[in-house]
Amino acid sequence: MAVTEMREALNQALKEEMTRDEKVFILGEEVAEYNGAYKVTKGLLDHFGPKRVIDTPISESGFTGLAVGAAMMGLRPVVEYMSFNFSLVAMDQIISNASKMLYMSGGLFNIPIVFRGPNGAGPRVSSQHSHNMESIYAHFPGIYVMSPSCPADAKGMLKAAIRCNDPVVFLENELNYGLKEDVPDGDYIIPIGKGDIKREGKDVTIIAWSRAMGFAKQAAEELSKDGVDVELLDPRTLKPLDMPLIAESVKKTGRVVVVEEGHFFSSLGAQVSESIYSNLFDYLDAPIARVAQSENPMPYAANLEAATLPSVSKIIQAVNQVTYRN
C-alpha cells in the first residue's frame, strides 16, 4: 500500500488488467503519444504498444462504434473520453448499441466494455464542458454506472468494471485526479453494486459520490464541531444502488441529505430519494433534503460557477434543515 494520486490509481488498474488479460485494450483521443489528457494512461503505450493503446481521430461516435464491435468479437475495450461531455456525440452507440446488444441478440453478444473519463464541472470551463452525465446513462437498462470519490475506490472499482461482461459507464472527476491516499497494491477489487460508509455517525446520513463526497466530508467536520454526528455514505455504484447499505444507515439515523453535482430536476439524487421514500418511509424522522446544481447552464465566471454548484455551506444548511436546527 502506498500514497497514490487518483490518476495513478486508475493507471494501476488499467496496467494490471491489461497485464492480466491480453484482450483488454484502451482507445481514445490522446491516450497514447500524449499519455492521456489527464495522464491516466501515462506509460501504457511504452509498456503495451500501439496495438493495445490506440490514439483515435476526433470522432467519438466512430471510435465508440469501433469499440462496441470489438467487444462483440470478444475483446474488452476501455474507451476514454477526454471529457464525458463529448460522449454526447456517441450516445447512440453507447445506448442503442452497447447497452441493448445482449437483449437484441437474444443473449448471443455480451458487451464487455468500459466507457470512462472525467464527468461534471472542471474549473471555469463553462456550460458546454460541465455536464453531469450520470442520470442520463443510469436511465437506460443494460448499463452499469459507477463513480469513485477517492483513489483507492477508483482502482478497485475500475478493475471490477473492466472484468464485467456488460457495459459500464465509469465517471471520474477532473478535480479529483490529484487526490492522494493509501491505495492497496495488487489485485484489489471493489464489486459492482457495493457502497461504502466513509464516516460512521448517528444523527444524519449524507449520501454523496464523486466530487460531492469531498464537500460532504468538509461539512461533516464542521458539523461535528457543533455536536452533529454525520454518517457519510458513498454508493460508489450509482446503478444499481446498494440499497441494503442505504437502508442500514437510514434506519440508524432517520435523517437523510443527498448531495450531488448534477442538476436538481430528474437527477440521480431524485432517484436515490425516491428509493428511500418507497422502501424506508417509516424510518424517516424528517423529509429528505437535497443539495444539487442549480437549474441554469454553468456560468464561466468563477463566482457564478461557485454559486451554481453544491458547497459545504449548502450541505450544512441542508443538515440543519433535516435536524430542525434552522
Looking only at the bridges linking them, the beta strands covering 180-183 and 204-208 are unpaired
Q: With 90 as the cut, is the pLDDT of residue 128 above it?
A: no
Q: Which residue range(s) make up the domain with 245?
A: 196-322
Whether residue 189 is contained in a domain is answered as no
DSSP 298: P
Nearest to 193 by CA among 147, 230, 231: 147
| Domain end among 183, 211, 243 | 183
pTM value surpassing 0.85: yes
Residue 237 in any domain: the answer is: yes
Residues 76 and 140 reside in one and the same domain? yes
The DSSP call for residue 283 is: G
The pLDDT value recorded for residue 127 is 85
143 and 221 inside one domain: no
The pLDDT, as a whole number, for residue 195 is 98
Closest of 236, 243, 218 to residue 150, by C-alpha: 236
Per the domain annotation, does 24 fall within a domain?
A: yes
Which pLDDT belongs to residue 267?
96
Domain count within the chain: 2
Question: In this structure, how many other beta carbons lie within 10 angstroms of the beta carbon of residue 22?
Answer: 11
Do 172 and 304 share a structural domain?
no
Q: Are residues 204 and 177 in the same domain?
A: no
Q: What is the CATH number of the domain that holds 138?
A: 3.40.50.970
The answer on 178 and 200 residing in a single domain is no
Of the candidates 132, 173, 218, 164, the one whose C-alpha atom is nearest the C-alpha of residue 6 is: 173
Q: Does residue 299 fall inside a structural domain? A: yes
170 pLDDT more than 90: yes
**Tens digit of pLDDT for each residue in 37-88?**
999 999 999 999 999 999 999 999 999 999 999 999 999 999 999 999 999 9
Considering only residues 239 and 126, tell me which one the structure prediction assigns the higher pLDDT.
Answer: 239
Final residue in a domain of this structure, among 120, 152, 183: 183
Check whether residue 213 and residue 149 sit in a common domain.
no
**Is 188 part of a structural domain of the chain?**
no
Based on the domain organization, do 11 and 53 belong to the same domain?
Answer: yes
pLDDT per residue as tens digits for the range 104-123: 999 999 999 999 999 998 88
Q: How many CB atoms lie within 10 A of CB 123?
A: 9
Residues annotated as catalytic (active site), given as ranges: 60, 129
Q: Do 51 and 142 fall into the same domain?
A: yes
- Say if residue 232 is in the same domain as residue 304: yes
SS3 content of the chain, % helix, strand, coil (to 5): 40, 20, 40
DSSP string, 69-134: HHHHTT-EEEEEPSSGGGGGGGHIIIIIIITTHHHHTTTS-----EEEEE-S--TT--GGG----H
8, three cell numbers = 495513478
- Domain contains 191: no
- Tell me: do 22 and 170 sit in the same domain: yes
Round to whole Å and give the CA distance between 47 and 125: 33
Cα→Cα distances 101→105, 109, 114, 140, Å: 6, 6, 15, 13
d(CA 31, CA 259): 32
Summarize pLDDT for 229-243 with one digit per residue, the tens: 999 999 999 999 999
Is 59 a domain residue?
yes
pLDDT at position 235, please?
Answer: 98
Same-domain status, 162 and 251: no
Q: Are 145 and 211 in a shared domain? A: no
**Residue 90: predicted pLDDT:** 97
Sole residue written with cell 461535528: 224
- Rounded to whole angstroms, the Cα distance separating 49 from 282 reads 57
CA dihedral 129, 194, 152, 310 (to 10 degrees): 40
Spatial CA neighbour of 235 closest among 265, 279, 205 = 205
Q: Where residue 314 sits, what CATH number does that domain have?
A: 3.40.50.920
- Concatenating the DSSP letter of every residue in 217-254 gives HHHHHHHHTTT--EEEEE-SEEES--HHHHHHHHHHH-
Alpha carbons 52 and 55: distance in angstroms, whole number: 10
Q: Distances in Å between the alpha carbon of 32 and those of 21, 58, 76? A: 19, 14, 17
Q: What is the pLDDT of residue 123?
A: 84
Is position 84 within any domain? yes
Q: What is the pLDDT of residue 96?
A: 97
The residue from 156, 183, 210 where one domain ends is 183
Per-residue pLDDT tens over the stretch 262-318: 999 999 999 999 999 999 999 999 999 999 999 999 999 999 999 999 999 999 999
**Helix (H) or strand (E) segment spanning residue 4:** strand 2-5
For 60, 226, 293, the CA distances from 262, given in Å and listed in that order, are: 23, 29, 5
